[in-house]
Structure 1
Amino acid sequence: MVDYLVVGMGLAGISFCEVLQKNKKSFIAISDTSQISSVVAGGLYNPVILKRFTLAWNAKEQMERAIPFYRDIELKLNHKLLHKVPVLRRFTSIEEQNIWFEAADKPNLKPFLSPDLKFNINNQIDAPYGYGEVLGTGRLDTAVLVKTYAANLLSKKLLLSERFDFEELRIFDSHVEYKSINAKQIVFATGFGLKENPYFNYLPLNGTKGELLTIKAPLLQETNVIKSSVFIIPKEGDLYRVGATYNREDKTNMPSDAAKEELQKKLNTFLKCPYEVVDHVAGIRPTVKDRKPLIGRHPQHPRLYSLNGFGSRGVMLAPTAAQQLYDLVETNSPLEKEIDISRFANKS
């Protein structure tokens, strides 16, 4: 009998497994590669919604937990995962500058928005109105995290690389059984895969397809993240991630020519130097209609839990959400009402 069975090994599943290990709880994780949004994500952690110059929900608290959380994983895995990178919001007018300065003067945004106009010094980028700088930002290498964390669990025989088969799940008052595994609790951290979960598919997980390009641009020589109509995220070797698109209709992980054309069209409005597209990836973000996660205990089966719905802010959300779910299970500490799945009644 293990304490937990964890299904899914993206940011949510990894964060929950890490909380379990810190609390010396036994577990087995199960994962396949059907949901890849954590792997293809840009990995930015940024507390500010730059489209509207507003603070993301609970951003300060999430940032305070997330950075040391990932630092601990870096030390354990002996892999560099966190990269401090400034995010510069490109202005397109004097009006946008003024809106930024007004936002930077608000008490909740002051710690995160620089009040100083940053002038463009890169002649490969068209930014005549300069930038606003977001403070305390960076990038988590999600692809390396997923790969190395899974390898670490495999080496300890704590991870089964297979598709979860609901036909093999048996639920009892005292525990759950899955094939030969007995567990006190089961946590589903499957991202968009929650749609195929017969116990939690009543939840309004919509899913939004996001596509990103990787370009090689030797002349660009940019070390900051540039946010304009698209993000440009610097990587090593003159490579940059460019994204992202938002498609609510297509639910496949296949890259599309339409999205590639859209990203390049937006990029070309401000990037002056030549570049080569060297990669193009797609994944389904687990988005929710009210833009809050789906966390909590199943209303009829108290040994079943959901840890899902992080949307595009998984890097910041996952450590806090994982801890809150753990506290719910172990000490019955109430979840924040905004994220508790009890806000959506189970009609089944």
Structure 2
Amino acid sequence: MKIDYFIVGLGLAGVAFCEQLRKANKTFLVFDNASQQSSIVAAGMYNPVILKRFTEVWMADEQLALALPYYKELEELLRVKLDYKLKLYRKFASVEEQNTWFTATDKPKLESYMSTKLVPNDGDHIDAPFNLGEVFHAGRVDTAALITNYKDYLESQSQLITDGFHYEDLQINSSTLHYKNHEANHIVFCEGFGLKQNPFFKYLPLNGTKGEVLGINAPDLKISYAIKSAVFIMPITNDDYYIGATYNRFDKTNSPTEAGKTELITKLKTFLTAPFTITSHKAGIRPTTNDRRPLVGTHAIYKNLHVLNGLGSRGVMIAPYAAEQLFNWIENKQALNPDISISRFPI
């Protein structure tokens, strides 16, 4: 039986596009072999401010307006808690950094996201003599729970094939795609860094940036908020916290490294004074682009081949927006936002 879509890859991008199709009553089949780990490994934090430079995340208003109800709907569909609202604080390194923060709070795009009041540091084990700045509308999505439970859901609907996709078996003509014993109108590649092996879209300038995160247990820390300094500390449950993340442009493996662990521990100890033990150490390759915008659109020659990729380190926020853009482009002929369209990179 012919279906509407094949989807290759089930990270944050793949799930978001599946949801566009499910809500539109489109038929689809997903191929995923769990070879890409960035969505599973991701700490899942979302926030509307770039905390290194105190600037607005690109299209933060639009992204949050879609993302927050999207995760609520997924919680209802999957019957699992996914979205955890968090206070998020930025540790100031100096009075000059405080002043830069307050200058940023006057900008129209940032005033609703950044507090104009200094937050006193009341953490007994956080070294922050210049106090903290609070970011509003932040939180954490449990990406591992999302993807694990969404896979279970698709399997219950007979919509998931846990096998690698073999490009050479895809037969293309103008109206139909054949893959082994399956037939569809369209295919969307949501492969993350795996796109580098895709013969149809490997010309796109996708960079892999490796990220490593630690899980720690720190019984004395006792904070319920996330804090960003040299690294971020994000509470998970009880006395467990995420620590992240590293950025490595050269190592393209999913294996955790001693160098990554050492970097995270060294930076963590610059402001955390509580003792801790390491409970986990994970790594994944973020699908990043030089202009920090997603790769969304249709192949220049094969009009039923599409791509949804390049979500980088902010996939939790941007995936619902990018997926909606691609769906409306394919189904409703609505123009893509030129900032994310792959037409900016001619074949």
In structure 1, the partner of 2:306 is 305
* 1:253 match: secondary structure: coil
Give the partner amino acid of 2:239: D
Give the corresponding residue for 2:9. Answer: 8
Deviations 1:164-204 (A, max 9, x none): 11111110111111111100000000100000000000000
Q: Does 1:243 align with 2:237?
A: no
Q: CA deviation at 1:252?
A: 0.1
Tell me the residue number matched to 1:122: 123
Write the distance in 2 (CA, Å) between the matches of 1:331 and 1:71: 25
| TM-score for both structures, normalised by structure 2 | 0.99
AA aligned to 1:300 is I
Amino acid at match of 1:154: E
Q: Aligned AA for 2:345?
A: F
Q: CA deviation at 1:237?
A: 2.6
Once residues 180 and 71 of structure 2 are traced to their aligned partners in structure 1, the CA distance between those partners, rounded to angstroms, is 33
> Aligned-pair RMSD on alpha carbons?
0.5
Matches for 1:89-128 after TM superposition, within 5 Å: 89-128=90-129
Cα distance in structure 2, aligned partners of 1:68 and 1:288 = 27
Aligned counterpart, 1:220:
221
Residue equivalent to 1:37: 38
CA distance, structure 1, for counterparts of residue 243 and residue 62 of structure 2: 28
2-structure distance, mates of 1:238, 1:291 = 34
Asked whether 1:135 is paired with 2:136, we answer: yes
1:109-150: per-residue Cα shift (whole Å, max 9, x none)?
Answer: 001001010000011110111100000100000000000000
Q: 1:7-54 deviations in whole A, cap 9, x for unaligned?
A: 110000000001100000000011011101000001011110000000
What CA distance in whole angstroms lies between the structure 2 residues aligned with 1:243 and 1:335? 33
Q: What is the CA deviation profile of residues 218-239 of structure 1, one whole-angstrom value per residue up to 9, with x for unaligned ones?
A: 0000110010010101011311
Partner in structure 2 of residue 229 of structure 1: 230
Distance of 1:287 and 1:160 partners within structure 2 = 26
What residue number does 2:331 align with? 330
Match of 1:278 in 2: 279
Give the whole-Å Cα distance in 2 for the aligned partners of 1:199 and 1:45.
Answer: 31
Matched, 1:183 2:184: yes
Q: CA deviation at 1:317?
A: 0.4
Q: How does 1:256-271 map to 2 (within 5 A)?
A: 256-271=257-272
The 3-state SS of whatever aligns with 2:128 is: coil
In the TM superposition, residue 255 of structure 1 has moved relative to its aligned partner by 0.3
Q: Could you state the TM-score of these two structures normalised by the residue count of structure 1? A: 0.99
Question: Partner of 1:253 in structure 2?
Answer: 254
The one-letter code matched in structure 2 to 1:259 is G
Q: 1:342, 1:102 → 2: CA distance?
A: 36
The runs of 4+ residues in structure 1 deviating greater than 3 Å are: none
Amino acid at match of 1:283: G
- Structure 2 residue 158 is the aligned partner of structure 1 residue 157: yes
Letter matched to residue 31 of structure 2: I
Q: Which residue pairs with 2:212 in the alignment?
A: 211
Q: Secondary structure at the match of 1:135?
A: strand
Gap regions ≥5 residues in structure 2: none
Matched letter for residue 137 of structure 2: G
Mapped to 1, the partners of 2:273 and 2:217 lie a distance apart of: 14
Q: Secondary structure at the match of 1:128?
A: coil
Q: Which residue is equivalent to 1:291?
A: 292
SS at match of 1:185: strand
Cα-to-partner distance string for 1:37-80 (whole Å, 9 max, x where unaligned)? 00000101111000000001101110011000110010011000
For residue 313 of structure 2, give the secondary structure of its aligned residue in structure 1.
coil
1:82 aligns with 2:101: no
Work out the CA distance in 1 between the residues paired with 2:330 and 2:176.
13
- CA distance in 2 between partners of 1:254 and 1:36 (Å): 10
Structure 1 position 279, deviation (Å): 0.4
Q: Deviations over 1:283-305 (max 9, x none)?
A: 00000011100000000100000
Structure 1: runs of 5+ lacking an equivalent: none
TM-superposition CA deviations, 1:300-319 (whole Å, max 9, x none): 10000000000001001000
Q: What is the one-letter code of the residue matched to 1:19?
A: Q
Report 1:333-344 matches (<5 A).
333-344=334-345
Deviation at 1:107, TM superposition (A): 1.0
Cα deviation for residue 86 of structure 1 reads 1.0
Paired with 2:87 and 2:223, the residues of 1 have a C-alpha distance of 11
